[in-house]
Structure 1
Amino acid sequence: MLGAPTPAPAATATATTADEGFRALERRYVLEFLRRNPTANTYLGGIGLDPSLAEADGRLRDHSKAALEAEDRWLATMEKEFQAAGDLKTPALRIDREVALAQIRFLLHQHQVRHYQERALDTYVDEPSRAVDFTLQGMTVSGTRIGTPEEWRRLAARLRSVGPYFKTAQENLAMGIASGRTPDVRMLVRNGLTATEAGVPYFETKFPGIAAVNISDEPLLAEVREASRMAAAGYRDFHRYVATTFFDDPAKGEKGIKKAFAGDRYAMGEAEYDWAITHNLRLNTTAARLFDESWPIVQATRAKMVKLAREIGTRRKLALPADDDAAVRAVFAALGRDAPTTNDEMFKAYRTTCFRLIDGARRAGLFDIPTDYRLDIMETPEPLRVSIMAAYYPAPPFKASGVGHFYMTPTDQKHQKANFHEMADLCAHEAFPGHDWHYKTMTRFKDDISPLRWLTPGGVEDSSSMWADSMAVEGWGVYAEGLMAEPLGDSPHGLLTPEEHLYVLRGIHFRDLRVRVDTGMHIGRLSYDDVVELLANGPTFLTGSCRDRKASPEQRSACERGEQGAARYARSPTQAITYRLGKEAIEAMRQEVGGDHAKLQRFHLAYMRQGTIPPGYFRDELLRELR
């Protein structure tokens, strides 16, 4: 009959209504998430999403028992609403729903099953300093100064909240003591003692200096200085709490721990590790399987290193021993002598190397790189140096202001400065085409990426984090290292020298080894000391024992680095495996797509426009689009 409605428009209207309703639900969830997670709000620049989120930049997260119980009730309500969302027609929205449900279930599991808030010492210690650093990073730039008066007042309010924040942390740790859930001794020393001690002079001296060069209004400067002094007092009081609660003699470090808190408490356990692999990282495997499959992969990369090291030795006319391990060590020793002598020279060389990679990739057509693309390398803030040698923190993606920070920790007499040949590997991972390029590309297309995919449930970067740096992000970083070394034209080592390629292989070998040690230590297949020795000897090709009191200085130095790595992986289970497994996921998708540089550019861009969630959430849809 003329004018009668047809089923197609009605179905389309229903689909549109369902999709629009989901977008409204998604936005409501994201805004409330950011209000409840002020540090993540600052990190992402939530004020750019909604001006009402400005007030969150003046707070720290409320970890109190009452606040977490209220949050869990809200999360349970959100879970029901996301489950009840209509028949979504847009593929991206279907992915978003799965991501939201995974985030919600992770947080409920974290609070109600693991009760992790009772032992998350590194989270409590790191959050205030990261919140301040993220604030500085996202401030409005005006000439040579950063920050508007409003931004500095919000930061002053945040600094004043440090003391009460640490009081809540003490209450939660006390509940953990009563329930038998306490931090591992290594976390107690590194985060509870060392990091809190470093926070005191930073907020007493250095931060007021930063404020002084950026604030011209004297009353405001006095307010910020006083707030910073209060933050320093908060760190000092929390340091005292940890020292007196958990230690008989804090000056002795691990040896001074009280008997009730001694012993290994780092292992996640096989069931929990498998839950995280499946639920958080979206992988169809188990910790035991990853452990068993890891060693042949480690050995294969090791063989590539031996082959390339011997080629370099021949070209450089080095007299290499017959033993392969000794030959690789000899090549590394020779290359290690070609190093900067000062921190200033080291930072300058890193900048030069990073821009060499950018220029080479632009000429090769690997990426469409704007002519105004720039980056810089900065010294790591003191309170974060206990856990960072090099790291990248992006500009807040939801805001128009702010810059990404590629942090490098200055070295001292105890730690040898990086030689010139190993710099390209770190540049490729942290800067270009790794994290800096990755985040700037995602930010350029942020309107195409749901804000939900940027969220960091549990924490931005600590042992509470769901994504544990994300397979998408760290996987891309390792993929970027290898990409720079892929054969290009008549260059068998791509944009790198053979020596630089050897260090790329060393980095890949290290990430291969991480899968072995992280799974092994958390499911009981390796002891902590086993992990230290594997991390000490694997990347260095040494063969000594870390238990040998007469070990050489070289072996002792390697064992010290191995212990630092073991402590990091003990603190954050599954974080270490995201590097290699993320790289493999990217390579598998790229292989399915195939093609020349034009197709490769298209694949890279399509991948980066998916956001920071693990590839398991979007792999099938991405491949469907590219086909």
Structure 2
Amino acid sequence: MFRLRVQFAPFVCAAGLFVASAFAIGPIRPGASARLDSLGRAAYRTLWEFHPVDATRCGFHEFDGRLGDYSPARTVALKRSVSRFLAQVDSLDTLALSLDERIDRELLASNLKMELFWLDRFKLLERDPHYYSDECVGGVYYVLLRDFAPLAERARCAAERMEDVPRFIRQARASVKDPPRLYAEAAIDGLKDAEDFFQESADELGKQVPELASRLAAAADKAVNSVRAWRAGLELDLPRLSDSFAMGREKFNYLLATDKFLDFDSDSLLRMGENLFARTDSVRKVLRAEEAEVLKRHPAPRPTDEPAPAGFSRQDVLAAQQAEIESMRVWVESSNTATVPAWVGPLRVVETPAFMRRIIPGIAMEGAAPLDENQTGYMYIRPLPDRFDTALARQYYNSGRRRGHRGGIVHEGLPGHHFQISVANHNPSFIRRLQFNTCLIEGWALYCEQMVVEQGLYPPDSFPDLRWLGGVWFRAARIIVDAKLHTGRMSYDDAWKFMVDKCWPDTAFFQAEVRRYCLSPSQPMSYYGEH
């Protein structure tokens, strides 16, 4: 759906670079330029009216008080509107547009085509109950996460969206028939988490905005009853559901070409992933052998642990990681890696929200909304214990001392995702600001892991090349799994067992990781964007 495209934006659309090269440069006519911008704004507003949670995530707040209406009649009307917009985009005279505008035209056309793909060909609204469970929670979460309005106003929007949950769930139950078992299981887990999330959000908001406390509590109760009833129904359906979830080669190839602007198919992607994995695996083995030989001749001093300070707590862990983010911001500039403009917003460390933890077992980040004035991003880390015994406090304290979080901050923060998204959110093109090309997003962040090694972030005698090569090696395994999962050449169980066998033996981590891969076709292969 459109929501898959709008959260982040790249520096430039490399996909558009080769698309634009197909057109001859012609005179720029202000009329055509204004028409493209007007078409884009009208098209995105129409999409946001249909997907109001996406609108919130983008920083467009006209529809913050409701969830989507995905009734058959409304969906048919939306598809007609999208088709009309697409015809108007196709009719634009490309010779009357600048090079940048031609890129924007292709991006807008891609967005519209992908909306039709998800609705018509993939049948997401009929196949994926997890889409609805995610929308319920996200609808409340995103009005509370970002400080775009006074808390009382955002709390009112949260109440309105929780009040809309029963209607939304009725619609979901009427639409979703015979989903793949994995999608249903993900929805069941999401609905379980939604119950706690609604109650906790209502309780906390009620304390901060007491005039809305009773309304929030009543809305949460009704929302919980609705999601609980649907969860029970899905649990009853599980035994008869199919294990098959793959979209198939044809659809996956369409996604690669239309959404990612790639000129190769899933078979070529698989070969690229396999070759990249084999190459990096071989180089890593050589470097590890060299490292072992050097350490044999010149043993490195064993790192010493220190006892944690008295009263060491989870707040100290969060503070240490926040300090590391600020340190990386300074390093990026002092090393002449990049200039960080003053308008690049802060990146805040937060624990991964409970409702996301089944899908995100590691670290991740939430970029600032492209249209919001507040450009704060959020870096999600694994949940921390409420209490630390002596051993646990020592472990976390010394991890911070050794700066073990830098690699993740390079990728998720600066100079990786947060920096890239912040720059992209200041693009003067309205259409460009709303793009979400994961090949550029993940490709850039993976490249940053290599770039900081070359720029001297780590001591040269620490074999820093093993750091970024390990990242490429792991992502190459993801490419293989992505290409096989969604073309029906690998099952969910095959995939997580492959990752455990090829990468490292953490079954629980890879079961959660691979579930995410199954729910987000083409995202795991996006790291090939570095190449």
- 1:22: Cα distance to partner? 2.2
Q: Greater CA deviation, 504-513 or 364-373?
A: 364-373
| 2:260 is equivalent to residue 281 of structure 1 | yes
The match for 1:34 is 48
Matching residue of 1:369? 340
The 5 Å alignment of 1:186-225 reads 186-189=182-185, 191-204=186-199, 206-215=200-209, 218-225=210-217
Deviation (angstroms), 1:577: 0.4
Alignment partner of 1:261 is 2:241: yes
* 8 Å Cα contact 1:88/1:94 also seen in 2: no
Instruction: Report what 2:33 is aligned to.
Output: 19
Q: Does 1:424 align with 2:406?
A: yes
Matched, 1:575 2:503: no
Partner residue of 1:409 out of 382, 385, 393: 382
| Partner-residue secondary structure (3-state), 1:485 | helix
Q: 2:4: which partner in 1?
A: none
Deviation by residue 1:414-459 (Cα, 9 ceiling, x = unmatched) = x99895565222111111111111122223x24x132x33447xxx
Aligned to 1:387: 359
Residue 347 of structure 1 and its aligned partner are, at CA, apart by: 3.2
**1:495, distance to aligned residue in structure 2 (A):** 7.4
After TM superposition, the structure 1 = structure 2 runs for residues 346-361 of structure 1, keeping only pairs within 5 Å, are 346-361=317-332
- Residue in 2 aligned with 1:88? 96
Alignment of 1:64-79 (within 5 A): 64-79=71-86
Moved more, 425-434 or 367-376: 367-376
| Partner secondary structure for residue 379 of structure 2 | strand
| Structure 1 residue 566: Cα displacement | 2.4
Cα distance change of structure 1 residues 411 and 200 upon mapping to structure 2, 3 Å threshold? same
- Deviation for aligned residue 1:357: 2.4
**Structure 1 residues 501-510 or 472-481, which shifts more?**
501-510
Secondary structure (helix, strand or coil) at the match of 1:366 reads coil
1:238-264 superposed Cα distances (whole Å, 9 cap, x missing partner): 2222123x13xxxxxxxxxx1x214x2
In the other structure, the counterpart of 1:242 is 234
Q: Which residue identity lines up with residue 83 of structure 1 in the other structure?
A: D
1:112 corresponds to: 120
The one-letter code sitting in structure 1 at the alignment partner of 2:48 is L
Amino acid at match of 1:378: V
CA drift at 1:535: 0.8
Q: Partners of 2:194 and 2:472 in 1: how far apart?
A: 34
Shift of 1:297: 1.3
Q: 1:480 to 1:228 in 2, by over 3 A?
A: farther
Cα distance between partner residues in 2 of 1:16 and 1:529: 55
What is the DSSP-based 3-state SS (H/G/I as helix, E as strand, rest coil) of the residue aligned with 1:577?
A: helix
User: For structure 1, which segment, 192-201 or 527-536, has the greater mean C-alpha deviation from structure 2 after superposition?
Assistant: 527-536
In structure 1, C-alpha distance between the alignment counterparts of 2:166 and 2:304, rounded to whole Å: 45
Query: Structure 1 residue 23: deviation in Å?
Result: 2.0
CA distance in 1, matches of 2:297, 2:162: 56
Query: What residue number does 1:544 align with?
Result: none
Write the distance in 2 (CA, Å) between the matches of 1:370 and 1:160: 41
Q: What is the Cα deviation at residue 411 of structure 1?
A: 5.1
Following superposition, the deviation at residue 306 of structure 1 comes to: 2.7
Query: Aligned Cα RMSD in Å?
Result: 3.2
Distance (whole Å) between structure 2 residues aligned to residue 160 and residue 41 of structure 1: 19
Are residues 198 and 472 of structure 1, via their aligned partners in 2, closer, same or farther at CA, if it must alter by over 3 Å? Answer: same
Q: Deviations over 1:11-67 (max 9, x none)?
A: 97x8222222222222221222222221111111114xxxxx2xx111111121111
What is residue 167 of structure 2 aligned with on the other side? 164
5+ unaligned residues in a row in structure 2: which ranges?
1-25
What are the equivalent positions in structure 2 for 1:115-514 lying under 5 Å apart?
Answer: 115-140=123-148, 147-173=150-176, 176-177=177-178, 182-183=179-180, 185-189=181-185, 191-204=186-199, 206-215=200-209, 218-244=210-236, 246-247=237-238, 258=239, 260-262=240-242, 264-313=243-292, 343-344=314-315, 346-370=317-341, 374-388=346-360, 389-401=362-374, 403-410=376-383, 420=402, 422-443=404-425, 445-446=426-427, 448-450=428-430, 452-455=431-434, 470-486=438-454, 488=455, 491=456, 498=462, 502-514=466-478
Aligned length: 489
TM-score by length of 1: 0.71
1:396 aligned partner, one-letter code: A
SS in 2 for 1:369: coil
Q: Distance in 2 between matches of 1:359 and 1:304?
A: 32
For 1:88, give the aligned amino acid: A
Instruction: State the alpha-carbon separation in 1 of the partners of residues 443 and 493 from structure 2.
Output: 27
* 1:82 counterpart letter in structure 2: V
TM-score w.r.t. structure 2 length? Answer: 0.83
Whole-Å Cα distance in 1 between the matches of residues 342 and 103 of structure 2?
A: 34
Deviations 1:143-183 (A, max 9, x none): xxxx343332222111211121111111111xx33xxxx22
Flag the 1:574–1:404 CA change in 2: closer, same or farther, 3 A.
same
Per-residue CA distance 1:317-360 (angstroms, 9 max, x = gap):
5999xxxxxxxxxx9xx999999997555434433433332222
Residues 371, 574 of structure 1: CA spacing in aligned structure 2 closer, same or farther, 3 A cutoff? Answer: closer
Q: Deviations over 1:490-548 (max 9, x none)?
A: x4x657883665343322211111111111233344444432232113223xxxxxxxx
Offset from partner CA, 1:287-331 (integer Å, 9 cap, x none): 1112123222112212333344345545655999xxxxxxxxxx9
* Distance in 1 between residues matched to 2:207 and 2:466, nearest whole Å: 44
User: Hey, what's the Cα distance between the residues in 1 that align with 2:283 and 2:306?
Assistant: 23
In the aligned structure 1, how far is the partner of 2:516 from the partner of 2:424?
28
Alpha-carbon separation, structure 2, partners of 1:523 and 1:433: 34
Aligned counterparts of 1:315 and 1:45: Cα–Cα separation in 2: 53
Query: Deviation of residue 110 (structure 1)?
Result: 2.2
The aligned amino acid for 2:167 is P
